[in-house]
Structure 1
Amino acid sequence: MTKDPIRTTTDGARDKARQMLAAMRHAVLAVNDAATGHPHLSKIACQIDPSGSPIALLSGLAVHSRALSADPRAALLVETQGGKGDPMTWPRLSLQVKAAMIDDAAGLRARWLEAHPKAAAFIDLPDFRFWRLAPQSGFLNAGFGAAFRLTPADLDIP
């Protein structure tokens, strides 16, 4: 019988995932591209809002924005880069998310520009919108032999 490689979720795993989200400035977004029927990946600027939910500022002209408008199911990959060693042993967090455009994003603008000052060049263009990427489930690979399944409650996200 093969032993299940997924460990019971611990407070340490929860803390690590929350720390990774808090430090996140970029992530890889995977969407379902209805135009091709294939997954589409994009590296995006991303950070958390005050509630801990991942937020992205996306152009409506981008493939990923059109795909999210058609199908809000997506995935987000967050990585922590180590200084040296094998990148496959560095922590990474995969989230299955449900995307929703944020209608009232007035409170997010200043917070976004603090973390992404170069976004000042495009944040007010008419096609840019904030999106909430609400986690539905997660998977933390915290290094060799340290894999954990996560729920939104594990991430303290309402």
Structure 2
Amino acid sequence: MSKDPIRATTDDARLSARQMLGAMRHAVLAVNDSASGHPHLSKIACQIDADGAPVALLSGLAVHSRALAADPRAALLVETQGERGDPMTWPRLSLQVTAAVIEGADLRDRWLQAHPKAAVFIDLPDFRFWRLRPQAGFLNAGFGAAFRLTPADLGLA
């Protein structure tokens, strides 16, 4: 019988994942494309909201928005880029998420603070904010440092 390579979740792993989410400005979003039946990946602008959950501003014209409207199950990949070394050893966080359109004036202001160039398109009628509520997570914090995470581990109720 082989030894499970996934470690017991530690406070350091929880803190690392929360810091990665707090620093996040972009992520890779994976959706289920109902038109083709295949996964679809997109790099998106993404940040956490006041509750600590990831939020994205997405165009309704994009494949990923239409896919989320049909099936809200998705995944998000957040990476921390190292200054040097092998990118495969840099920390990365994979989240299984459920997406829902959200509204709120405070979202717009928070978004523009982190993404000022979004002022060009944020008010276009096809753009919506989506909350990407984590259901489960997986932190690869480097070689031999893999952890499963719950929403509570990420600081979410």
Give the Cα separation in 2 of the matches to 1:62 and 1:106. Answer: 23
- Three-state SS of the structure 2 residue aligned to 1:126 is coil
The answer for the alignment partner of 1:149 in structure 2 is 148
1:51 paired residue number: 51
Q: Which residue of 1 aligns with 2:130?
A: 131
Q: Does 2:72 align with 1:39? A: no
Matched with 1:10 is 10
Report how far residue 105 of structure 1 moved.
2.1
- Is 2:26 the partner of 1:26? yes
Q: TM-score, normalised by structure 1?
A: 0.99
Structure 1: 5+ residue runs without aligned partners?
Answer: none
Task: Output aligned runs, 1:104-115, within 5 Å.
Answer: 104-115=103-114
- The equivalent of 2:115 in structure 1 is 116
Deviation at 1:106, TM superposition (A): 1.1
- CA drift of 1:43 comes to 0.1
SS of the residue 1:149 aligns to: strand
Q: How far did 1:35 drift?
A: 0.3
Residue ranges of structure 2 left out of the alignment (5+ in a row): none
Q: After the TM superposition, list the runs of 4 or more consecutive aligned residues in structure 1 that deviate by more than 4 angstroms.
A: none
How many Å separate the matches in 2 of 1:105 and 1:64?
Answer: 22
Distance 2:41 2:108 in 1: 25
Partners in 2 of 1:122 and 1:86 — Cα distance?
36
Could you tell me which amino acid in structure 1 is paired with residue 131 of structure 2?
R
1:76 maps to 76
**Within 2, Cα distance between the matches of 1:106 and 1:100?**
17
Post-superposition shift, 1:107? 1.1
**Superimposed CA distance per residue, residues 13-37 of structure 1 (whole angstroms, 9 cap, x where no aligned partner):** 0000000000000000000000000
> Counterparts of 2:156 and 2:112 in 1: how far apart (Å)?
23
* CA distance in 2: counterparts of 1:27 and 1:150, whole angstroms: 18
Task: Give the aligned partner of residue 89 of structure 2.
Answer: 89
- What's the % identity of the aligned pairs? 82
TM-score under structure 2 length normalisation: 0.99
Distance of 2:120 and 2:83 partners within structure 1: 31
